[in-house]
């Protein structure tokens, strides 16, 4: 029964590869240099001194691909660019992508897109944090449009139905959504985001009853005191694996220790609760494989290839002329 269910889930996440993306797209195109090896080297260096870069790159990739497709539009500067949208003000990792881009431009100018660097760097960071090694397809081009008005990302309090519809608009199904939320295994939020859930859930004057009592007390007492004057960081996963990509995030949800309103609802909703329970099971390697597949699938959302777009010389501005 279990094996049949696993097969069904894998089938539901079957990858439909983009026709013009390829494995090893940059082979023989960078004057003898291995493009993916160069990217990996820089990610390893950053990860050695800053493990939060895993969460940073996962969020950067998600926020890029979910808005106007995986075209590195989130990297563009400008008074009304995607960077200026409120959900993107806490996104980080831009400097690492620019550093990698500068190194590759020195080796083979005008060859490697910023969009592909985001995808490859995120893969490498995920693997360094305990994720499963997986191949990526490359050949993306960079977009030239970046507008804050186009940013439509899932809110922390979005309903499950709304989120499923939003993911489906990107070609991702409800199971993809649940698996991609596994990126919260290395994620954080802030007390301001969950204040109502802790102290005035749906106007009740108390915490969300779906949150385990002692856990709610702990967060209220030690992490997000009601009268605090600071907006403290709240980790979305168990403290024992803050920087590790694993399935402990789902175990937290099943145990009533989800932090974000959406996470808690996802664990209860009939459309997604079964998937949360499945992923929380004692088979973390199953989650790692599915997470890798989901990242590949997300990396194919509305990509531009061939002669579309451009290969930017620097990632934060379009090429002139």
Q: Are 174 and 167 in contact (CB under 8 A)?
A: yes
Establish whether 69 is an annotated binding residue.
Answer: yes
Establish whether 207 is an annotated binding residue.
Answer: no
Establish whether 38 is an annotated binding residue.
Answer: no
Report the catalytic residues: 63
Phi/psi region, residue 68 (left: phi>0; alpha: psi -120 to 50; beta: rest), is left
Distance CA 231, CA 71 (A): 33
Establish whether 184 is an annotated binding residue.
Answer: yes
- Torsions phi, psi for 138 (to 5 deg): -125, 175
Establish whether 82 is an annotated binding residue.
Answer: yes
Establish whether 73 is an annotated binding residue.
Answer: yes
Residue 192: which residues within 8 A CB-CB, separation 6 or more?
A: 231
Report CA torsion sign: 249, 253, 256, 257.
positive
Establish whether 67 is an annotated binding residue.
Answer: yes
235: enclosing H helix or E strand: strand 233-235
Calculate the CA dihedral of residues 235, 236, 240, 246 and round it to 10 degrees. -140
Q: Which residues are annotated as a binding site for Ca(2+)?
A: 64, 67, 69, 71, 73, 82, 185, 238, 246
Q: Which residues are annotated as a binding site for heme b?
A: 184
Q: Which residues are annotated as a binding site for substrate?
A: 154
Q: Which residues are annotated as a binding site?
A: 64, 67, 69, 71, 73, 82, 154, 184-185, 238, 246
């Amino acid at each position: 029964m279990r094996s049949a269910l696993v097969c069904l889930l894998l089938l539901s996440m079957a990858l439909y590869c983009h026709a013009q993306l390829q494995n090893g797209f940059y082979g023989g195109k960078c004057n003898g240099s291995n493009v993916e090896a160069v990217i990996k080297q820089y990610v390893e260096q950053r990860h050695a001194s800053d493990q939060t870069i895993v969460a940073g790159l996962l969020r950067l990739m998600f926020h890029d691909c979910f808005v106007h497709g995986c075209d590195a539009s989130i990297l563009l500067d400008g008074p009304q660019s995607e960077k200026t949208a409120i959900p993107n003000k806490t996104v980080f990792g831009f400097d690492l992508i620019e550093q990698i881009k500068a190194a590759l431009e020195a080796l083979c100018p005008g060859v490697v897109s910023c969009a592909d660097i985001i995808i490859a760097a995120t893969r490498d960071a995920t693997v360094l944090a305990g994720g499963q090694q997986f191949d990526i397809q490359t050949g993306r081009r960079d977009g030239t449009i970046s507008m804050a008005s186009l940013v439509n990302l899932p809110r922390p309090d979005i309903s499950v139905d709304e989120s499923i519809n939003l993911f489906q608009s990107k070609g991702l199904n409800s199971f993809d959504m649940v698996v991609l939320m596994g990126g919260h295994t290395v994620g954080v939020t802030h007390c301001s985001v969950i204040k109502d859930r802790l102290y005035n859930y749906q106007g009740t004057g108390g915490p969300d009853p779906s949150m385990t009592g002692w856990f709610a007390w702990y967060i209220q007492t030690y992490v997000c005191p009601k009268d605090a004057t600071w907006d403290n960081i709240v980790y979305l996963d168990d403290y024992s694996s803050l920087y590790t990509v694993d399935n402990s995030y789902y175990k937290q949800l099943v145990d009533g220790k989800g932090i974000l309103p959406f996470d808690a609802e996802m664990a209860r909703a009939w459309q997604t609760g079964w998937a949360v329970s499945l992923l929380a099971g004692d088979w973390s390697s199953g989650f790692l494989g599915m997470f890798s597949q989901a990242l590949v699938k997300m990396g194919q959302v509305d990509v531009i290839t061939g002669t579309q777009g451009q290969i930017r010389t620097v990632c934060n501005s379009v090429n002139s002329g």
